[in-house]
Amino acid sequence: MPYRQLFAHPGAKAFTAGNLIARLPMGMFSVSAVVMIAGARDSYALAGAVTATGLAATALVAPWTARLVDRYGQARIAVPATLVASLGSIALILCVRRGTPDWTLFAAYAATATTPNTGGMSRARWAHLLKGDAAALHTANAFEQAADELCFMLGPVLAAFLCGTFFPEAGTLVGVVLLLSGVLLFAAQRSTEPPARPAVRGRSPLRAPGIPPLLVVCLAMGVVFGALEVVTIAFADAHGMRTAVGVVLGLQAAGSCAAGLVYGRFRPRGRADVRYVWCIAAMTGALTLPLLAATLTGSLPVLAGALLVAGMATAPTMVTGMALVQERTPAGRLNEGMTLAVTGLLGGIAGGSALGGWSVEHLSVTAGYAVPVAAAGTALLTALAPLALGRREGRLVHSVEPLH
C-alpha cells in the first residue's frame, strides 16, 4: 500500500505530526542527562547510574500508564503523565545546577518514568483507523518503525549539538518543550483517538497466549541494540575515532529506517509467526557481519558498512514482531500490550549495555560483537519453539484421529 494512501485518512497527518514531535525527545533525554550530570559532577559513573535508574523506573511504570491509557483514553492520561515527566526533567536540571545531593538526581530522573509510550499510542490509532485492513496496517507499522529509527538516530545528534553549542542543560530543556508540545498536539486530535475501554476486564496481556515468548524475544532484541552501541563506541575509542561514532551508529539506524519503509510497501504473505522466524534468522546472519568486520579488518569504515547492512534486517523484524503483539493482545488492552513489548526492549538494552561493556573490558573489543550475535540466536530459538511445539501437537492429533 502506498504511504500517500495511508495518510489520506482524515486526521492521520495531524496525529502523526504531533507524535513525531513528541517522540524525538526519546532519543535526546539520556544523552542530555549524561552530558549534563557528567559535566557538573565530573562522574560518568554517576551519570550512567542515574540514567539506568530512570530506565528501570520506566520499565516498572510504563505498563501501568499504558493500562490507564487503554481504560480512560489517550488524551485523559497522556497529558497529565507527560506533565509529571516534564516536571521530573526540570527538577533534574535544578538539582544539577544547585549542586544538591546525588540522591536527588536519582529521584528526579525516576519521575520521568511516567512519560507515555507515544509510539505505542500512535500504533494503537492506526490499528483503530485501519481495522480489518491487514495490508494497510502492515504499511502503518512499517512507517512507525521507520519513525522510531529516525527519532533515535536524530535525537542523540540534536542533544549533543544543543548541549555542546549552548549550555549543558539545553538538550534537556528542548526535549521537555518538544515532548510537551508534541503530546498536546497529538492528544488534541480526538477524531482519531481509539475509544476508551473502562469496563475491560479479563486476562492481562502478560497471560495472553503467545505474548510471553514475544516479550522474551523483545528482551533479546534489546540486548542486541544495547550491546552494539556500547561495543561500537569502545571500538571507535580504541581506534582514536570517538567523534565518528555518532555517524557509524547513525548508519545502522539509517539502514533500518530505509528497510522499514521498503518493507512496508510489500503486502505480507503467509503466517506472521513464520515470517517472524525468517526475519530473526536474517537478522542473526546479518549481525555476523560486524563481528567479521571488526575481527578481520579492524577498520571503522568497513565496520560502518557492516552495521548499515545489519541494520537493514532490524526493521522487518520489529515490524513483524509488533504486528504479532497487536494480533495476540486481548481486546481493549493494545496500549498495554505494546508498552510491555517496549519495556522488554528497554530492559534488554540496559542488560545488553552492561554485557557489552563487560565483554569489552574483560575479553576484547572485537569479542564484544559476539554478544549481539548470541542474543539474536537466543531470540531465534525462542521464536522457533512455539512453531516446533505447534507442529508436534499437530502431528500427535493427526496420528490419534484414526483411532476414534
| DSSP string for residues in 127-152 | HHHTTT-HHHHHHHHHHHHHHHHHHH
What confidence score (pLDDT) does residue 147 get? 83
Each domain of the chain, given as residue ranges in start order, spans 12-199, 204-404
Provide the pLDDT confidence category of residue 400 given band limits of 50, 70 and 90.
very low
Provide the pLDDT confidence category of residue 114 given band limits of 50, 70 and 90.
very high
Opening angle at CA 375, ends 372 and 380, nearest 5: 125
| DSSP string for residues in 226-287 | HHHHHHHHHHHHHTT-GGGHHHHHHHHHHHHHHHHHHHHTSPP-S-HHHHHHHHHHHHHHHT
- Measured CA to CA, the distance from residue 207 to residue 185 in angstroms comes to 34
Among 80-84, 217-221, 381-385, name the most confident range: 80-84
8 Å CB contact between 176 and 86? yes
- Measured CA to CA, the distance from residue 15 to residue 187 in angstroms comes to 8
What pTM value is reported for the model? 0.74
CATH topology of domain 12-199: Growth Hormone; Chain: A; (1.20.1250)
Per-residue pLDDT tens digits for 282-341: 999 999 999 999 888 888 889 889 999 998 888 888 888 888 887 888 877 777 787 888
Does the pLDDT of residue 375 top 50, yes or no? yes
287, three cell numbers: 549481525
Q: How far apart are the first and last CA of the chain?
A: 47
> Stretch 3-27: mean pLDDT, rounded?
88
Dihedral sign, Cα of residue 211, residue 218, residue 143, residue 197: positive
> Stretch 397-404: mean pLDDT, rounded?
44
DSSP letter at 194 equals P
> Stretch 70-82: mean pLDDT, rounded?
92
- Measured CA to CA, the distance from residue 330 to residue 178 in angstroms comes to 32
> Stretch 167-190: mean pLDDT, rounded?
93
386 to 4, 254, 282, 318, 391: CA distances (angstroms): 37, 32, 19, 18, 9
Does the pLDDT of residue 343 top 50, yes or no? yes
Closest CA to 14 of 182, 142, 137, 265: 182
- For domain 204-404, the question of CATH label 2.60.40.10 is answered with no
Count the helices and strands in the chain (H runs, E runs). Answer: 17, 0
What confidence score (pLDDT) does residue 397 get? 40
> Stretch 144-161: mean pLDDT, rounded?
77
What confidence score (pLDDT) does residue 29 get? 85
The larger pLDDT score, comparing residue 117 to residue 397, is at 117
Per-residue pLDDT tens digits for 195-253: 887 755 556 777 778 888 889 998 999 888 878 877 887 787 777 776 666 677 778 87
Provide the pLDDT confidence category of residue 381 given band limits of 50, 70 and 90.
very high
What confidence score (pLDDT) does residue 196 get? 82
> Stretch 256-267: mean pLDDT, rounded?
80
Per-residue pLDDT tens digits for 83-102: 999 999 999 999 999 999 99
- Exposure on the CB side of residue 366, measured as CA atoms within 13 A: 13
Q: Which amino acid is at 339?
A: T
Per-residue pLDDT tens digits for 45-75: 787 788 778 878 887 888 888 888 888 989 9
What confidence score (pLDDT) does residue 404 get? 44
Q: pLDDT above 70 covers what percent of the chain?
A: 92
What confidence score (pLDDT) does residue 205 get? 75
- Measured CA to CA, the distance from residue 104 to residue 102 in angstroms comes to 5
Q: What is the mean pLDDT of the chain?
A: 83
Provide the pLDDT confidence category of residue 26 given band limits of 50, 70 and 90.
confident
What confidence score (pLDDT) does residue 62 get? 85
